[in-house]
Structure 1
Amino acid sequence: MAQAPAPVVKPGDNLVVEGIPPVPAGTAERVAQYTEFRSAALRDWHPKRREMLIGTRFGDTVQVHAVRVPQGARTQLTFFPDRVAGASFQPTHGNYFVFSKDVGGGEWHQLYRYDMADARVTLLTDGKSRNTGMVWNRAGDCIAYMSTRRTGRDSDLYLMDPADPKSDRLLLPLEGGGWGASDWSPDGRQIALLEFISINESRLWLVDVAAGTKRLITPPQSGEQVFHGAAQFSRDGKALYVSTDLGFEFRRLAHLDLATLQWQFLTSDIPWDVESFQLSDDGRTLALLTNEAGVGRLRFMDTATHRHRPGPALPVGVPGGIQWHKNNRELGFTLSAAKSPADVWSVDARTGKLTRWTTSETAGLDTSSFADARPVEWKSFDGRAISGFLYLPPARFTGKRPVVVDIHGGPEGQSRPYFLGRENYLLNELGIAIVYPNVRGSTGYGKTFAKLDNGMLREDSYKDIAALLDWIKAQPQLDGERILVTGGSYGGHMTLAVASNYSDRICCAIDVVGMSNLVTFLENTESYRRDLRRVEYGDERDPKMREFLTRIAPMTKAAHIRKPLFVVQGKNDPRVPASEALQMVETVRKTETPVWFLMANDEGHGFAKRKNRDFQFYAELLFIEQFLLK
Structure 2
Amino acid sequence: MSFGTLPLLVSLLAVQAQSPKPSQPSATSATLVASTPLPGQPNLLVSGIPPVPSGLERRVHPYLESRSALLLDVADDGKQVLIATRFADVNQLHIVESPMGARTQLTFTPEPIAEAQFLPGTLETLIYRQDVGGGEFFQLYRLDRSTGRSELLTDGKSRHESFKISQDGQWLAYSGTGRNGKDTDVYVAPASNPRQARRVTEAEGAWLPVDFSRDGSKLLVQQVRSVADVDLHVVDLKTNALRQLTPKEGMGGVADALFTPDGQGVYLLTDRYSDFSELYRLELAKAPDTGVPLSLTRSIPWNVEKLVLSPDGRQLALSVNEDGASRIYLVNTRTQALEPVSLPQGVLTELKFPHRRSDTLFFSLTTARSPADVWRLDLRTKKTERWTRSEVGGLNTGAFAEPERVRYASTAGVQVPAYLYLPVGRSGKVPVVTVFHGGPEGQSRPTFNPFVQFLVTELKMAVLLPNVRGSEGYGKAYRAMDDGVKREQSLADIGATLDFIASHPRLDASRVGVYGGSYGGYMVLATAAFFPERIQAVVDVVGISSLPSFLQNTQAYRRDLRRAEYGDERDPEVRKVQERISPLGAVERIRAALYVQQGKNDPRVPQSEAEQVVKAVRARGADVWYMLALDEGHGFNKKPNKDYALTTAFMFLEKHLSPEPSAPPEPK
Alignment TM-score > 0.5, same fold: yes
Tell me if the contact between 1:376 and 1:390 (Cα under 8 Å) persists in the aligned partners.
Answer: yes
Q: In the alignment, which of 367, 373, 382 is matched to residue 337 of structure 1?
A: 367
Q: Which amino acid aligns with 1:232?
A: L
Tell me if the contact between 2:378 and 2:384 (Cα under 8 Å) persists in the aligned partners.
Answer: yes
Tell me if the contact between 2:200 and 2:235 (Cα under 8 Å) persists in the aligned partners.
Answer: no
Q: Which amino acid aligns with 1:276?
A: K
- Change beyond 3 A, Cα 1:49–1:476: closer
Could you tell me which residue of structure 2 aligns to residue 254 of structure 1? 280
Please tell me whether residue 44 in structure 1 is matched to residue 73 in structure 2.
yes
Could you tell me which residue of structure 1 aligns to residue 316 of structure 2? 286
1:184-203 counterparts in 2 under 5 A? 184-203=212-231
Q: In the alignment, which of 510, 515, 521 is matched to residue 481 of structure 1?
A: 510
Tell me if the contact between 2:78 and 2:357 (Cα under 8 Å) persists in the aligned partners.
Answer: no
Tell me if the contact between 1:48 and 1:92 (Cα under 8 Å) persists in the aligned partners.
Answer: no
Cα shift readout 1:296-342 (whole Å, capped 9, x = no counterpart): 0101111111111012x211110121010121111111100011111
Tell me the matched-pair count. Answer: 617
Please tell me whether residue 555 in structure 1 is matched to residue 584 in structure 2.
yes
Q: Which amino acid aligns with 1:206?
A: V
Q: Which amino acid aligns with 2:577?
A: F
1:425-444 counterparts in 2 under 5 A? 425-444=454-473
1:11-50 counterparts in 2 under 5 A? 12-48=41-77, 50=79
Could you tell me which residue of structure 1 aligns to residue 239 of structure 2? 211
SS in 1 for 2:488: helix
Tell me if the contact between 1:561 and 1:593 (Cα under 8 Å) persists in the aligned partners.
Answer: no
Q: Give ranges in structure 1 of 5+ residues lacking alignment.
A: 1-8
**How many angstroms apart in 2 are the aligned matches of 1:117 and 1:47?**
18
Could you tell me which residue of structure 1 aligns to residue 419 of structure 2? 389
Please tell me whether residue 592 in structure 1 is matched to residue 621 in structure 2.
yes
Please tell me whether residue 233 in structure 1 is matched to residue 259 in structure 2.
yes
**How many angstroms apart in 2 are the aligned matches of 1:191 and 1:243?**
17
Tell me if the contact between 2:211 and 2:258 (Cα under 8 Å) persists in the aligned partners.
Answer: yes
Tell me if the contact between 1:65 and 1:75 (Cα under 8 Å) persists in the aligned partners.
Answer: yes
Please tell me whether residue 348 in structure 1 is matched to residue 408 in structure 2.
no
Q: In the alignment, which of 96, 100, 103 is matched to residue 74 of structure 1?
A: 103
Q: In the alignment, which of 594, 598, 612 is matched to residue 565 of structure 1?
A: 594
Could you tell me which residue of structure 2 aligns to residue 304 of structure 1? 334
Q: Cα RMSD over matched residues? A: 1.2
Question: For structure 1, which segment, 420-429 or 599-608, has the greater mean C-alpha deviation from structure 2 after superposition?
Answer: 420-429
Please tell me whether residue 85 in structure 1 is matched to residue 111 in structure 2.
no
SS in 2 for 1:583: helix
**How many angstroms apart in 2 are the aligned matches of 1:284 and 1:459?**
48
Please tell me whether residue 62 in structure 1 is matched to residue 62 in structure 2.
no
Please tell me whether residue 612 in structure 1 is matched to residue 641 in structure 2.
yes
Residue 225 of structure 1 deviates from its aligned partner by 2.9
Q: In the alignment, which of 400, 419, 443 is matched to residue 429 of structure 2?
A: 400
**How many angstroms apart in 2 are the aligned matches of 1:227 and 1:513?**
27
Q: In the alignment, which of 297, 304, 308 is matched to residue 274 of structure 1?
A: 304
Could you tell me which residue of structure 2 aligns to residue 5 of structure 1? none
Could you tell me which residue of structure 1 aligns to residue 26 of structure 2? none
Q: Which amino acid aligns with 2:462?
A: A
SS in 1 for 2:493: helix
Residue 164 of structure 1 deviates from its aligned partner by 2.2
Could you tell me which residue of structure 2 aligns to residue 3 of structure 1? none
Residue 49 of structure 1 deviates from its aligned partner by 5.2
TM-score, scaled to structure 1? 0.96
Could you tell me which residue of structure 1 aligns to residue 396 of structure 2? 366
Could you tell me which residue of structure 1 aligns to residue 183 of structure 2? 154
**How many angstroms apart in 1 are the aligned matches of 2:389 and 2:259?**
34
Q: Which amino acid aligns with 1:306?
A: Q
Q: Which amino acid aligns with 2:406?
A: V
- Change beyond 3 A, Cα 1:13–1:548: same
Cα shift readout 1:156-190 (whole Å, capped 9, x = no counterpart): 111123332332233332211x2211111122121
**How many angstroms apart in 1 are the aligned matches of 2:395 and 2:78?**
34
SS in 1 for 2:161: strand
Tell me if the contact between 1:37 and 1:422 (Cα under 8 Å) persists in the aligned partners.
Answer: no
**How many angstroms apart in 2 are the aligned matches of 1:554 and 1:166?**
47
Q: Which amino acid aligns with 2:251?
A: Q
Question: For structure 1, which segment, 462-471 or 101-110, has the greater mean C-alpha deviation from structure 2 after superposition?
Answer: 462-471
- Change beyond 3 A, Cα 1:11–1:560: farther
**How many angstroms apart in 2 are the aligned matches of 1:117 and 1:513?**
40
* Identical pairs, percent: 45
TM-score, scaled to structure 2? 0.91
Answer 1 or 2: higher relative contact order, Cα 8 Å, separation at least 6. Answer: 2
SS in 1 for 2:583: coil
**How many angstroms apart in 2 are the aligned matches of 1:423 and 1:270?**
31
Could you tell me which residue of structure 2 aligns to residue 179 of structure 1? 207
Q: Which amino acid aligns with 1:199?
A: V
